[in-house]
Amino acid sequence: MSYLLDTHAFLWAVFSPDKLSRRARATIADPSNAVNLSSITLWEISLKFALGKLTLKNATPEEMVAVAREMGLALIGLSAEESASFHQLPSAAHRDPFDRMLAWQAIQRKLVLVTKDGALPVYQDAGLKTLW
């Protein structure tokens, strides 16, 4: 299977693996799974770090790229088509633009989003599949 990590899932996998569900931990660790990390997540980490809303234990946002690679994650960018078609994601109560774009990217690429975010299932009718 192919997966996309939500930002908190990535950060917990790196800094606090015990916060991940047993299922999420096993999915990330299984070498037969294709686990992806979006540039959207790295942008969110960088922005929140700059605003003082996120502290990284002995790391900088730039170092998170190498950390992701060391974990065996595939780094994926946001395509022009995903950006341009984002308007097709149904309007919903979920207001976080990073989470909405990660959900859209997962839908477009047919990836299962690894997330604990209880507000994201609102996009199931649009095709979002989640795992926690």
At residue 64, the pLDDT reads 98
Check if CATH label 3.40.605.10 holds for domain 2-131: no
At residue 92, the pLDDT reads 73
CB burial class (10 A; 0-12, 13-18, 19+) of residue 27? buried
pLDDT tens column, 70-94: 999 999 999 999 999 999 998 876 7
User: Tokens 């997540």 belong to which residue?
Assistant: 41
Name the residue ranges covered by the structural domains of the chain.
2-131
* Distances from the Cα of 88 to the Cα of 117, 123, 127, 132, angstroms: 21, 11, 12, 25
Q: What mean pLDDT value characterizes the chain?
A: 95
